[in-house]
A and B are shown apart, each in its own frame.
Chain A
């Protein structure tokens, strides 16, 4: 573990982590999807989560978001336990995720999709206050939508655009920690470059991130640290180069040569 230095110094200073997962276990019946996972992400850090299909990466995201409830273990955000909170309450704490398969609102155009993300969780304000089209447009443009895309419906968008839309809706909830699930899947080379630039912008702005991707080449420059997992447990942890050098990772993830 080479990248330990910065983390260690922070831990010694007793600075709380942005997100800390402790002994997290999730069982689906007899199947162990998450097996005693423990890791931390510091504020402003970008963590890459890699592993073969079915390793349990998405399950971790669902547990952090509260879409699934853990069997045991704890999840804390700046030292406060969030396990008991519902998904929308966690989002209000600044944690947000994107999905492997984008889930847009099919009968709404791009701006209306973003509008839902911008809504306050307060019915009275929802009714009394008008939507903010300027902010909607700003968000749409920030992820790279052109003006003639604004009124398009999801059925008219490419997978790359759908990922952008999902990102825009996620950003609309004003997160400080983003969980990005397979952001590069199905994208063209140009779109990958665009998405990577977008992620880098957010990183520079101080956003904490956990990124899941199979596209290791694109992932590498976007992360400070990597965790490789398999069968719901951590196999290796450290800098990207160290993790990739790990024999177990090479065996399980990349296959023997």
Chain B
């Protein structure tokens, strides 16, 4: 909520340079894991814009991601539309459809909002299987969707480029008074209204921003995977992974969801050899719980605390 200083710019620059050099340092397998982390980070940032800040918990983000993914997949795969056109269209469709469907959801509060959004996700799951299966591919989904890049390295650069553009632009946007107003809604919506601001308009705009990011992420994700399967997409575990990534990383920040996404992806990946089944989720749940109990503001806050402590010690030495 403070201004942007040179230190922020420097930190972003260091991070970007590190990530650009990453393919030189790690194996292709690790790189593929990072690709997933990048996409999860995009989804987590999207979720955080509406839920992390305003406190309106969305369980329906796969609905938005799904609209983006399905739109571009159908347009390019079934109608042969070039990807350069189908992705922007998919983002627009996500924003419009998302806004229309969530307009009634904005009128309800708290857990009801979460339930309504959850219902949308379930609805979408049922609908894609029934309505025009010739287009959506029904239960089996689609495979053979155009991919944008070949090989782990290229895909890594593509996903990282998308993630960093989204992260930095959201970070700048949230530094403005708009971001402050959204956080204020999360703290006390009545007082925001009492300050003469239309909270409905603010939430709607935040939702459209969130939908845009989700649509963008979903569209690129499907062109990375080259396939789409409704069961994997409209899965409650997928929602929880996004939410847990934000919560353990640190809600209401941009770095937090990124941190959480990377932490979670690598945690699941490293647990895989030891626990190939669903037991992994038990471990990750426990770790998330411990972090959340230790510091509800997440990993981001833990890092910041250490940093402040370090600075105090440093200041004491000199």
- A residues at B contact (CB < 8 Å): 65, 67, 86-88, 91-92, 96-97, 99, 103-108, 112, 115-117, 119, 121, 123, 126-129, 131, 169-170, 172-173
Q: How far is the CA of A71 from the CA of B13 in the complex (A)?
A: 59
| A65 (CB) vs chain B CBs: closest residue | B194
Q: Are A116 and B181 in contact (CB under 8 A)?
A: yes
In the assembled complex, B150 has its CB within 8 A of some CB on chain A: no
CB neighbours of A105 from chain B (8 A): 183-184, 187-188, 191
What would be 30 A-B contacts, judged by CB atoms less than 8 Å apart? A87-B194, A88-B193, A88-B198, A91-B194, A92-B196, A103-B188, A103-B190, A103-B194, A104-B191, A105-B183, A105-B191, A108-B187, A115-B177, A116-B180, A116-B184, A117-B195, A119-B177, A119-B180, A119-B181, A119-B195, A121-B197, A121-B201, A123-B201, A126-B176, A126-B181, A127-B176, A127-B178, A170-B194, A172-B195, A173-B195
In the complex, how many angstroms separate the beta carbon of A187 from the nearest chain B beta carbon? 20
**Chain B residues numbered 143-167 whose CB sits less than 8 Å from any CB in chain A:** none
Q: How far is the CA of A172 from the CA of B183 in the complex (A)?
A: 19
- Listed from nearest, the 3 A-B pairs whose CB atoms lie closest are A91-B196, A105-B187, A103-B191
Q: How far is the CA of A65 from the CA of B191 in the complex (A)?
A: 12
Q: Are B188 and A169 in contact (CB under 8 A)?
A: no
In the complex, how many angstroms separate the beta carbon of A87 from the nearest chain B beta carbon? 5
Q: How far is the CA of A215 from the CA of B184 in the complex (A)?
A: 32
In the complex, how many angstroms separate the beta carbon of B292 from the nearest chain A beta carbon? 17
Which residue of the partner chain, among A67, A108, A117, A170, contacts B1 with CB atoms under 8 Å? A108
Q: Are B195 and A123 in contact (CB under 8 A)?
A: no
In the assembled complex, B19 has its CB within 8 A of some CB on chain A: no
Q: How far is the CA of A121 from the CA of B192 in the complex (A)?
A: 11
In the assembled complex, B173 has its CB within 8 A of some CB on chain A: yes
A sample of 4 more A-B contacts (CB under 8 A), given A96-B196, A129-B177, A131-B180, is A88-B199, A92-B196, A97-B194, A115-B177
In the assembled complex, B205 has its CB within 8 A of some CB on chain A: yes
Mark interface residues in B186-220 (1 if CB within 8 Å of A CB, else 0). 01101111111111011001000000000000000
| A175 (CB) vs chain B CBs: closest residue | B196
In the complex, how many angstroms separate the beta carbon of A7 from the nearest chain B beta carbon? 30
CB neighbours of B183 from chain A (8 A): 105, 107-108
A121-B198 in contact given A105-B187, A107-B187 (Cβ < 8 Å)? yes
Q: How far is the CA of A112 from the CA of B201 in the complex (A)?
A: 21
Q: Are A123 and B196 in contact (CB under 8 A)?
A: no
| B198 (CB) vs chain A CBs: closest residue | A88
CB neighbours of B198 from chain A (8 A): 86, 88, 121
CB neighbours of B202 from chain A (8 A): 123
CB neighbours of A170 from chain B (8 A): 194
Which residue of the partner chain, among A92, A123, A169, contacts B178 with CB atoms under 8 Å? A123
Q: Are B178 and A116 in contact (CB under 8 A)?
A: no
Which residue of the partner chain, among A86, A104, A115, A127, contacts B173 with CB atoms under 8 Å? A127
Q: How far is the CA of A49 from the CA of B194 in the complex (A)?
A: 21
CB neighbours of A87 from chain B (8 A): 193-194
Q: Are A112 and B190 in contact (CB under 8 A)?
A: no
CB neighbours of B188 from chain A (8 A): 103-106
Q: How far is the CA of A123 from the CA of B203 in the complex (A)?
A: 11
A112-B1 in contact given A117-B195, A123-B178 (Cβ < 8 Å)? yes
Q: How far is the CA of A111 from the CA of B193 in the complex (A)?
A: 18
Q: How far is the CA of A97 from the CA of B190 in the complex (A)?
A: 12
In the complex, how many angstroms separate the beta carbon of A116 from the nearest chain B beta carbon? 5
CB neighbours of A99 from chain B (8 A): 194
Q: Are B178 and A126 in contact (CB under 8 A)?
A: yes
Highest count of chain A CB atoms <10 Å: which of B183, B195, B201: B195
In the complex, how many angstroms separate the beta carbon of A210 from the nearest chain B beta carbon? 16
Mark interface residues in B33-55 (1 if CB within 8 Å of A CB, else 0). 00000000000000000000000
CB neighbours of A127 from chain B (8 A): 173, 176-178
